[in-house]
Chains A and B, each alone.
Chain A
């Protein structure tokens, strides 16, 4: 059970849209509708922003959206803001009541 693969870093300018990828296998992302995404600011605990591939908690802005194709999940942030600068982690159910996180992406808003 290896960590899901995420790009180490992504950057964007305020107002732009960016997409973060999360690549797994047919044993995790590709088999279940159970990808979640977390935002973590420095020194803070992670925060759930997407669950079940594309659903958003009621407190999360609709600028955040999730999608999936095959073994790859994606998080799109539209109308990028400086406060979106953070680390982002995907997480997938991997069967047998286990989960696996992604390696994480550092988003820089230039």
Chain B
């Protein structure tokens, strides 16, 4: 079955750049929007952004200036970079798949807790 496996640094200092990568196993990279969502501890979900297999990326207006989402179709991977992190960026970051048919997020990665602390 299709799985998303994500990895990246879990502890950052303020002003550093968060970098996460997500790999798609046993499934097609085409025909979906590959999405990043985060969830601060004890709080709600926040949509960060998405990219499709053609490399068309969009992100939340509130994060747009700091977010870069890219993809490497040859490796079935997509990545998130968030620059100039602060403590408010501490969260569990999820990679996920949004179906172009249903527009719902129907597959999630396991999540990565990223803590920003000096």
Measuring CB to CB, which residues of chain A are less than 8 angstroms from any residue of chain B? 1, 3, 34, 36, 38, 40, 45-46, 48, 50-52, 55, 57, 87, 89, 91, 93, 96-104
A selection of 27 A-B contacts at a CB cut-off of 8 Å is A1-B60, A36-B102, A36-B103, A36-B105, A38-B45, A45-B94, A45-B109, A45-B110, A46-B45, A46-B94, A48-B102, A48-B105, A48-B106, A51-B104, A52-B104, A55-B102, A57-B102, A89-B44, A96-B58, A98-B47, A99-B47, A100-B47, A101-B45, A101-B46, A103-B44, A104-B44, A104-B45
Assess the B104–A98 pair: CB atoms within 8 A.
Answer: no
B50 sits at the interface (CB 8 A) = yes
Query: Which of B46, B50, B60, B104 has the most A CB atoms < 10 Å from its CB?
Result: B104
Assess the A51–B103 pair: CB atoms within 8 A.
Answer: yes
The answer to whether residues A1 and B103 also contact, given A38-B45, A104-B44 and a CB cut-off of 8 A, is: no
Assess the A98–B61 pair: CB atoms within 8 A.
Answer: yes
Q: Tell me the complex Cα distance, A48–B103, Å.
A: 11
Assess the B44–A1 pair: CB atoms within 8 A.
Answer: no
Please encode chain B, from 45 to 62, with 1 for each CB lying within 8 Å of some chain A CB and 0 for all others: 111001000001011111
Assess the A102–B105 pair: CB atoms within 8 A.
Answer: no
